[in-house]
Amino acid sequence: MAVARSGSCSKSFRFETEARALTLLKDWLSPKQRASYERFRYFDVTGSHTGTRYRIHHGTQTNIEEISGTGQHVCKWCFVPDGDLVAGDVMLAQKIALETNERGALAVAHRSFVSSGPRRF
């Protein structure tokens, strides 16, 4: 009976899962969103109820910026689906939630304000 070395299967499985999730995410992005994501690792969405612009950065938590009408950073938002999901799946869920049920998404989200110093995601 062959036994896999510890971590080898889980690392390759995680890599394949991340790759599939990013492919699915990119399939759901508009051409403009996809170009932005591929260049900057973020894309913008418009909230379904308020028309607010949100910038979803690559990541799984506290990766959403609210952007003002003048393009300024307003605050950060954090909401994630249940489960141990990879970044592509989380970002796709965030995109769909904000574009179809903005109020519901923000009702469960954590809002934070950060200094005007450099932003790190």
Give the tens place of pLDDT for each residue, 47-74. Answer: 999 999 999 999 999 999 999 999 999 9
Whether 79 maps to a domain, the answer reads: yes
Whether 88 maps to a domain, the answer reads: yes
Joined together, the tokens standing for residue 108 give 């469960």
Identify whether the C-beta of residue 25 lies closer than 8 Å to the C-beta of residue 92: yes
Whether 46 maps to a domain, the answer reads: yes
- Residue carrying the six token digits 């200094």: 115
Q: Give the count of beta carbons closer than 10 Å to the beta carbon of residue 37.
A: 20
Q: Strand locations in 1-99, DSSP E?
A: 42-46, 53-57, 64-67, 73-78
Whether 21 maps to a domain, the answer reads: yes
For residue 41, the enclosing domain spans: 13-113
Whether 89 maps to a domain, the answer reads: yes
- pLDDT bucket at 12, cuts 50 / 70 / 90: confident
Indicate the DSSP class of residue 5: P
Output the pLDDT for position 116: 55
- pLDDT bucket at 108, cuts 50 / 70 / 90: very high
Element (H, E) at 112: strand 110-112
Whether 43 maps to a domain, the answer reads: yes
Average pLDDT score over residue span 32-47: 98
Q: How many domains does the chain have?
A: 1
Angle subtended at Cα 89 by Cα 28 and Cα 55, rounded to the nearest 5 degrees:
65
Range name among 13-17, 54-58, 100-104 with the lowest pLDDT average: 13-17
Whether 7 maps to a domain, the answer reads: no
Q: How far apart (Å, rounded) are the C-alpha atoms in residues 58 and 40?
A: 9
pTM: 0.85
- pLDDT bucket at 11, cuts 50 / 70 / 90: confident
* Cα–chain center distance at 67: 15
